[in-house]
């Protein structure tokens, strides 16, 4: 079923929220993840808030720093947003 514009999922926001949720489930603070990445805490904060975009390499590094499989989390994201929608 197609969604109209008002019903489209903000996929970027959903992915950021999934990262933050998984980080919290793992019992990690932003500073814990940033330390593993060798970055400042603000790096993780800006990505989670959406003021900084992340590329695929950064996504992989962040998810691995949380202790998860990047492919599995991406599959969950794709499954939760529908395979053919775009925004």
pLDDT tens digits for the chain (87 residues)? 454 444 577 999 999 999 999 999 999 999 999 999 999 999 999 999 999 999 999 999 999 999 999 999 999 999 998 865 544
| 47-65 tens-digit pLDDT | 999 999 999 999 999 999 9
**Rounded CA gap, 55 and 9, in Å?**
20
For helices 56-66 and 11-25, give the axis angle rounded to 10 degrees.
20
Give 10-81's CATH code, choosing from 3.30.420.10, 1.20.1260.10, 3.40.50.720, 1.10.260.40: 1.10.260.40
The model's pTM is 0.83
CA dihedral 74, 68, 19, 27 (to 10 degrees): 160
């Amino acid at each position: 079923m197609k969604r109209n514009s008002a019903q489209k999922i903000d996929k970027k926001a959903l992915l950021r929220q999934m990262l933050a949720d998984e980080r919290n489930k793992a019992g990690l603070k932003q500073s814990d993840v940033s330390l593993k990445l060798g970055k400042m805490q603000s790096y993780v904060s800006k990505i989670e808030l959406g003021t900084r975009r992340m590329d695929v390499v950064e996504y992989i590094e962040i998810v691995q720093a949380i202790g998860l499989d990047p492919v599995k989390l991406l599959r969950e994201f794709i499954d939760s947003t529908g395979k053919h929608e775009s925004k």
